[in-house]
Amino acid sequence: MAFAVASPSSTAISGPPFSCSSASSELKASQIGSVRLLERSHGQSSALNISQRKSAVKPLNAEPKRNDMIVPFAATAIAPEVEEKEKVEAEDYEQLAKDLENASPLEIMDKALEKFGNDIAIAFSGAEDVVLIEYAYLTGRPFRVFSLDTGRLNPETYRFFDAVEKHYGIRIEYMFPDAVEVQALVRSKGLFSFYEDGHQECCRVRKVRPLRRALKGLRAWITGQRKDQSPGTRSEIPVVQVDPVFEGLDGGIGSLVKWNPVANVNGVDIWNFLRTMDVPVNSLHSQGYVSIGCEPCTRPVLPGQHEREGRWWWEDAKAKECGLHKGNIKQEDTAQLNSNGNGAAAETDIFNSQNLVTLSRAGIENLAKLGSRKEPWIVVLYAPWCQFCQAMEGSYLELADKLAGSGVKVGKFRADGEQKEYAKAELQLQSFPTILFFPGHSAQPIKYPSEKRDVDSLMAFVNALR
């Protein structure tokens, strides 16, 4: 995909031609965070004059349209000459995706806004997906933007939201998590439980459920997903699809359409475009952040690292989705990610080494009962389907090799399925993996407290207690 600047005061974007006809003035304009380009004279060039951007845009404001099922409106505007579009025509979106496979992001964005009008909105995370707002702006059509405020974003992201609103003359529709649900989660598990048992529960409360509420007021949404963002989950996303997970305004699976205009664009071209168009960007990008989410779960990446390595860095790199795009995860992966460990698993076992002892239920019970042991033990309570256990397998096997012949035994106990209740009651199991150290002269095992599961951290834990 190539981008080119036609002149210092106008832009042209390569790709299949498309038309932004006068139909844009006929679309209904009842929306939040929307903009409309002022009428141009017949003699004016159709290319957008970037230097006149702020004077060429005005927000639309009027009395709010009341509908409890729709994303709350901060302001609306009504074009009285336009009739409400009650139903969206049936469409073969698989065929449409094939037809648009080689289309430019601008053409895809224009098609989405033309087709759904006020019933579609851009999902804006506060990262490089600001490119979606720029494309929507360039179509000349009214558009809506919403964002999920989890309550745990970086200060830089909040300042970026404000800069984007001022730059485009829009109001972003913010969706917030349910306060009662957040309070219950924090009271029961603390502020940072995701470091121990995974990010899915926190994301479900702070992101997925607010998103679900937002989408129930729409018939389509626009995301910034790209195929190169996550090889494990996003490599096959189409430019448009029927959303496989969420429901839209009409209810039921299949009632919501998902547009991914930049699916086929690589990150380098995204940034070249943003720089060319002089678009506001999140200041965290200049500090090494590429993929930006909540502050506790996002960190900078080093040169050469993939951008998603900065998100949930303590977890398996192949499954880094928060739940907003759960439909990207293939069916065979979903069972593993969603398993609660209550049933027997058929997965290949892990932590296999000649320097590591496999403990049965009787073996772990006997070890726990001993008041005085000849040798101390370190034991991992695990489930082979758990991605966190899989992620630490290499470091734990290296630990077993280092401790061979040292007088410290290294073991493993599979604590899912029928053994889970016992492990929770007797072995301090709360999440997988749980690592216990059984001292030589104490009956009470000591639980490894850190989310750092590299071999050096584990070795420091053993050396402090042996």
Q: Where are the domains of the chain?
A: 3-332, 357-465
Average model confidence (pLDDT) across the chain: 76
Write the DSSP string, 143-205. --EEEE--S-B-HHHHHHHHHHHHHHT---EEE---HHHHHHHHHHH-TTTHHHH-SHHHHII
CATH entry, 357-465, from 3.40.30.10, 3.30.465.10, 3.30.1950.10, 1.10.4100.10: 3.40.30.10
Confidence at residue 388, expressed as pLDDT on a 0 to 100 scale? 84
Confidence at residue 222, expressed as pLDDT on a 0 to 100 scale? 97
Confidence at residue 1, expressed as pLDDT on a 0 to 100 scale? 44
Tens-place pLDDT, residues 78-116: 344 444 444 445 688 999 999 999 999 999 999 999 999
Is the pLDDT score of 261 beyond 90? Answer: yes
What is the number of other CB atoms lying within 10 angstroms of the CB of residue 452? Answer: 15
| pTM of structure | 0.52
Active-site option among 203, 294, 322, 386: 386
Confidence at residue 258, expressed as pLDDT on a 0 to 100 scale? 96
Is the pLDDT score of 377 beyond 90? Answer: yes
Active-site option among 202, 294, 297, 389: 389
Four-residue CA torsion sign, 457, 460, 465, 466 = positive
386 is catalytic: yes
Helix (H, G, I), strand (E, B) or coil at 360: coil
Asked if residue 24 lies in contact with residue 18, where contact means CB atoms within 8 angstroms, the answer is no
How far apart CA 1 and CA 15 sit, in angstroms, is 8
Asked if residue 32 lies in contact with residue 144, where contact means CB atoms within 8 angstroms, the answer is yes
Considering the segment(s) 3-332 as one domain, its CATH architecture is: 3-Layer(aba) Sandwich (3.40)
